[in-house]
Amino acid sequence: MTELTYRATGVDPTRAEKSLAQIRERIARTRTPEVIGDIGAFGGLFASPGADRVLVATTDGVGTKLEIARLLDRHEVVGTDLVHHCVNDAMAMGAEPLFFLDYFSTSRIDPAVFARVVGAMADACAAHGCALIGGETAEMPGMYHPGAYDVAGFLVGMVAREAILRPDSVSEGDVCIGLASSGLHTNGYTLARAIAARIAGEQGRDVKEALTTPHPELGGRTLGDALLVPHTSYLSQFRALRSSTHVRSIAHLTGGGWEGNLPRALPAGLGAVIDRGTWEVPAIFRVLAELGTVPEVDQWDTWNMGIGLVVIVPASDAPAALRVVPGAVAIGRVEATSGPRRVRWAA
């Protein structure tokens, strides 16, 4: 009987280390004074920030945006998105990023793809002063079709105990400040992909062709280009707001759209009335809605519709918030509510 080895089943234990070697210098650029040791141990070490500081932990993935990135050979956006999404989630609690870890899983590691994805993570971490202190790379034959992979990110941030952002600090009459998104960010891509598949089928083309054909309503850009714009990081805007206003609470508009996220930044009994006329919904959302005949309620319950972050401040601080963050818009206010839905659209 033929002997079976780990390599014979499709797993090469040395492939991950050889792939990691390609980006060690980029990872080294993320190192901060608090990092202890080097990549390669069984755990990453980071000096404690102190007893008066609270750690904030968050984790996320990129969802089925991965499939569009793979299909169009745009792997860097995956690594960037993963870091930016996690930075924003920790920031919604008031935290600055400290360190990041990743998980990369595939049937067989392609060193070039791995380097593009994880290298982009390292570059995004370095840009945010966040140390990439470790991760896990797994080969799992039979779990993924050829060329497919999945990633997850884990970020730990820090906030002073008295500066934690809590929904219970929000009051009726506070103002909602909207910060523009760059597109879908990392959510609602299963619906977007279904729309692309539908139009491809109706036109007798494959999905890749549908994604790479210039679209007049997108200013000549392709649907694929519009869908692969990186997830915006709002850390610099948050810092400006924190130094000039009293930030009460923050909602990062991710999966579940408006109703699924804005109420998470509000205490029980309060909702928000939002004036959708205060900003222009970007073309990518209008195009997707038209091509997919997506009901309006599903659009707003799935996508961010052009606002990626909602920052809640006292009404007296709203002018300062608009002044320190170019492009920010006062989009609504906090109000009492008793209905099942806590986001109300202004007439």
Domain boundary among 141, 163, 185: 163
In a 13 Å sphere around the CA of 303, the CA atoms on its Cβ side amount to 27
Beginning with the edge strand found earlier in the chain, give each strand of the sheet holding 329-336 in spatial order: 249-252, 307-313, 175-180, 329-336, 270-274, 343-345
Q: Are 171 and 260 found together in one domain?
A: yes
| Confidence at residue 1, expressed as pLDDT on a 0 to 100 scale | 64
Position 1 in a domain: no
Position 2 in a domain: no
To 10 degrees, what angle do helices 235-244 and 76-91 make?
A: 20
The number of distinct structural domains making up the chain is 2
Q: Are 37 and 130 found together in one domain?
A: yes
Q: Are 15 and 148 found together in one domain?
A: yes
Q: Are 325 and 177 found together in one domain?
A: yes
Domain boundary among 163, 186, 210: 163
Q: Are 110 and 123 found together in one domain?
A: yes
Q: pLDDT tens across 240-290, in order?
A: 999 999 999 999 999 999 999 999 999 999 999 999 999 999 999 999 999
Q: What is the DSSP letter of 336?
A: E
Q: Are 154 and 219 found together in one domain?
A: no
Percent helix, percent strand, percent coil in the chain, to nearest 5: 40, 25, 40
Q: Are 195 and 141 found together in one domain?
A: no
- Weakly modelled stretches of the chain, pLDDT under 70: 1-2, 347
Position 46 in a domain: yes
Q: Are 211 and 330 found together in one domain?
A: yes
Q: Tell me which residue of 244, 257, 247, 212 sits closest to 320, measured CA to CA.
A: 244
Q: Are 147 and 193 found together in one domain?
A: no
Q: How far from 274 is each of 46, 114, 263, 321, CA to CA, in Å?
A: 42, 42, 12, 17
Position 108 in a domain: yes
Domain boundary among 163, 180, 215: 163
Q: Which domain holds residue 138?
A: 7-163
Position 306 in a domain: yes
The residues near 296 (Cβ < 8 Å, ≥ 6 apart) are 289
Q: Are 207 and 247 found together in one domain?
A: yes
Provide the residue count of the chain. 347
Instruction: For tokens 């935290």, name the residue.
Output: 95
Q: pLDDT tens across 181-233, in order?
A: 999 999 999 999 999 999 999 989 999 999 999 999 999 999 999 999 999 99
Position 95 in a domain: yes
| Confidence at residue 211, expressed as pLDDT on a 0 to 100 scale | 97
Q: Are 270 and 328 found together in one domain?
A: yes
CATH of the domain at 318: 3.90.650.10
Q: Are 139 and 243 found together in one domain?
A: no
CATH of the domain at 94: 3.30.1330.10
| Confidence at residue 130, expressed as pLDDT on a 0 to 100 scale | 98
